[in-house]
Amino acid sequence: MFRIIYNITHSYLNKTINRILQQENIIVMVLPGNRKISNRADNDKFSLKHEEIGRPLYFDAQATTPLDPRVLDAMLPYLVSYHGNPHSRTHTYGWESEAAVEKAREQVAHLIGADPKEIIFTSGATESNNISVKGVARFYAPRKKHIVTTQIEHKCVLDSCRALEGEGFKVTYLPVGPNGIINLQELEEALTPETSLVSVMTVNNEIGVKQPIAEIGAICKKKKVFFHTDAAQALGKIALDVNAMNIDLMSISGHKIYGPKGIGALFIRRRPRVRVEPIQSGGGQERGMRSGTVPTPLVVGLGAACEIAEREMKYDHAWVEKLSQRFLDKIYSKLTHVIRNGDLEQSYPGCLNLSFAYVEGESLLMALKDVALSSGSACTSASLEPSYVLRAIGTDEDLAHSSIRFGLGRFTTMDEVDYTAEKTIKHVERLREMSPLWEMVQEGVDIKTIKWSQH
């Protein structure tokens, strides 16, 4: 039993305690005076109060996107009624599933201007990246053992490159400028007769920067080097054409375009033919490049998501651009010392990576509990090291730790943008007022000129 006694007189105290202590398993808490359990200071200027209204607003579209209801409608029959294995060639159940898979293959191919035969289905962009980088490198290894990529690629590309370095391959990691974009001259100079592959992502998942993919493709074609791009963050958001851009391999993810998780695709050019060494052994499905039973419901969902994205791309882009501009206008109108990371022009508007100077990103994330956000730095993980992407573009460590990524999408509303902007402004102001550094800046002190002594 747990009993709390408060606001009692001294004469009553002894009598009451003697009586209740005769019972077993009693915990007594006595609070003197008029003090309450949750005592609140009169001045709650710096207190953090959360309004428990329901689930947080979703502002993390670069991590994943919600399933479009129209995609779910397309998937449901293949989750229930049409459950055949698409590789079963002897009965109707298999034929139905195979027809659905081939239709989805056409939908994916049409979105990027490819031939359906050039699309193979995978479990997602991570697997597609692994097949592309490791597969091409290993197949052409006897003659070519050099790969070129950038310092701001997705972790699965960088880790694949490091694995290849362990196998004796040479990898060149191209730096990027302060705007996050690579130097095309440096790329061209990095290519050698031994280079088999260049891998550069289309839109960066952290800062939203768009690389000059068409120009990179032209350089690779001229030098007779295969060009792979991770287009997980770009597909369905910006126009892509594998032929016009001279792309030889392209990684695609389902859950980044309002499709289901666990499904992706890889475009592999047939003419001129790109050869890859499979990283998975099995029954030889998907032209022998990705063995394993193709999950029909997920593939159907990916196809439907691609078809919707192609049809509504212009509308979606205009809507996200409008939301993005409104959000930035609100932030900039009330806050100073806010830096947008990445190029201001060559970037996808739905990915806003902002650094709020003199505010710790982790503190701001905790304050914005009613908005689902991601931090640009690694303070959401066990490591307190700032993001390698922000380090690559030359962001100061203190700014890298103060960055937050706001991800806007198809289903984000104007009211949600207004609410998030107002909450962000409120908590940045609150946290800055608690910071002695901010106080010094307000007084005109240049923080970078201070020589801090260690005690």
Span 424-453, pLDDT tens digits = 999 999 999 998 888 888 877 777 777 666
The chain-wide mean pLDDT, for the chain, equals 89
| pLDDT > 70 fraction of the chain, expressed in percent and rounded | 85
pLDDT at 443: 78
The mean pLDDT value for 193-200 works out to 97
Q: Report, as an integer, the average pLDDT of 342-354.
A: 96
**CA-based angle 91:263:72, to the nearest 5?**
75
Cis peptide bond upstream of 69, omega within 30: no
**Contact at 8 Å (CB) between 90 and 98?**
no
Give CA–CA dist 172/307, Å, rounded: 37
- Whether 12 has a pLDDT exceeding 60, the answer reads no
Whether pLDDT at 60 is above 80: yes
Task: Tell me whether domains 57-65+313-449 and 69-309 share a fold.
Answer: no
User: What residues form DSSP beta bridges with 253?
Assistant: 264
Q: Which residues are catalytic?
A: 379
Q: Which residue has the tokens 């428990």?
A: 52
pLDDT for the residue 323: 98
Is residue 202 within 8 A of residue 234, CB to CB? The reply is yes
In contact, 399 and 342? CB cutoff 8 Å: no
In the chain, what are the domain boundaries?
Answer: 57-65+313-449, 69-309
Per-residue model confidence (pLDDT) at position 445? 76
pLDDT of residue 41: 44
Is the predicted pLDDT of residue 255 greater than 50, yes or no? yes
Q: What is the pTM of this model?
A: 0.86
Q: Check: CATH 3.40.640.10 for 69-309? A: yes
Higher pLDDT, 91 or 30: 91
Average pLDDT over every residue of 110-118: 97
**Section 15-29 average pLDDT:** 57
pLDDT, tens digit, 9 for 90 and up, residues 305-327:
999 999 999 999 999 999 999 99
pLDDT of residue 37: 40
Helix segments in 335-394, DSSP class H:
361-367, 388-392
Helices of type H across 125-222:
125-139, 155-166, 184-190, 213-222
Q: Which CATH class is domain 57-65+313-449?
A: alpha beta
